[in-house]
Amino acid sequence: MKALLYSDWASLGKSMKSFLFSIFMICGIVTFVSISNEGMDAETVAETIQSNIMATGSLMFAFFSFFNLFGQDEHAGWESVKLSLPVSRREVVVGRYLIMAIIIAVLLVIGAILGAAIAAIATTVKYGTVTIMPLWMVAVTIAIALSAALIYLAIEMPIFFKLGLTKARLYFTLPFFACMLFMLKPVQRFFEGLAARFGTIAEIIGNPAPILAILLVIAAVLYAISSIISTRIYEKREF
């Protein structure tokens, strides 16, 4: 397992340049758009910058890493060679789930620090005061982004382990299409109701942490179930 994690990590390390470039672009665009909007106060600018860098920047690179790793498995037959090493197929699957979870968590933390730093600089320059998102809002953003990413991967990974990148590419947009269901009024009403209920519960408790914890636990459980399904699928796959 260590070997697989090392190999994936070493490969992704080589993509650091593109990560830095994309995060630089996202930071630049988000900061420019936020500070050039005269209708925004310092708090809103900080929130916009930090949440976008955390959620969009970090998750975008996490998905890039996901495709990168599955792509290199197929390239030149690395998957066959990898399976000839003293590793089990279960380890290959669990290793990939682990590395993706680590990447997302690390990127969200980097995004949180970077976002706070940029928000502080931008608000100081524009408003003359250091303004950043409250820590609890950063935690909420991280928890929601992490849960969303884990749920997305929990759906996608079994498809990729079954078909490999080339064939599974056709299906990677499925969760995005699923999001289009939100355009339907009944779906919108359902989720608005759900959000309102959660809001009420959070108000009663006086703190959103328990709800976020439940969300994270649900995402983690789905992610774990997905890894079991992927292992079963992958054990039957031929190369």
Partner 1 sequence: MTREALNLRVDGACKTYGDFSLRQVSLEVPAGTILGLIGQNGAGKTTLMKAILGTINLEGGSVELFGKNPAELPEKELIALKARVGYVSAVTAFPQLVTAREVSRTYELSYPGFERGRFDEMCAKLSFDALDKPIKELSRGMGMKVQLACVLASGADLLILDEPTAGLDPIVREEVLDVLREWMEGDGRSILISSHITSDLEHLADTVVLIDDGAVLVDCTADEIAEMGVAHLRATELEQLLSDGGYAPGTLHVLKRDLSYAALIPDRHAFAEAYPEFAVDPAGIDDIMTLLVKGEVR
Shortest Å, Cβ 85 to partner 1: 4
Q: In whole angstroms, what separates CA 216 from the centre of its chain?
A: 13
Q: Which residue has the tokens 């969200």?
A: 108
Which value, to the nearest 10 degrees, does the dihedral of the CA atoms of residues 52, 56, 58, 59 take? 150
Please, which residue, 43 or 74, has the CB nearer to partner 1?
A: 74
Tell the smallest beta-carbon distance from residue 235 to partner 1 (Å): 10
Residues that bind partner 1 (CB under 8 A): 2-4, 6-7, 10-11, 14-15, 72, 75-78, 80-81, 83-88, 90-91, 236, 238-239
Q: How far is the CB of 17 from partner 1 (least distance, A)?
A: 11
Nearest residue (CB) to partner 1, 56 versus 72: 72
94 or 116, CB closer to partner 1?
A: 94
Q: Which of 141, 147, 161 is nearest to 97 (CA)?
A: 161
Q: How many angstroms separate the CA atoms of 150 and 182, rounded?
A: 20
Residue closer to partner 1, measured from CB, 75 or 197: 75
Burial class (CB in 10 A: 0-12, 13-18, 19+), 180: exposed
Smallest distance from the beta carbon of 63 to partner 1, in angstroms? 18
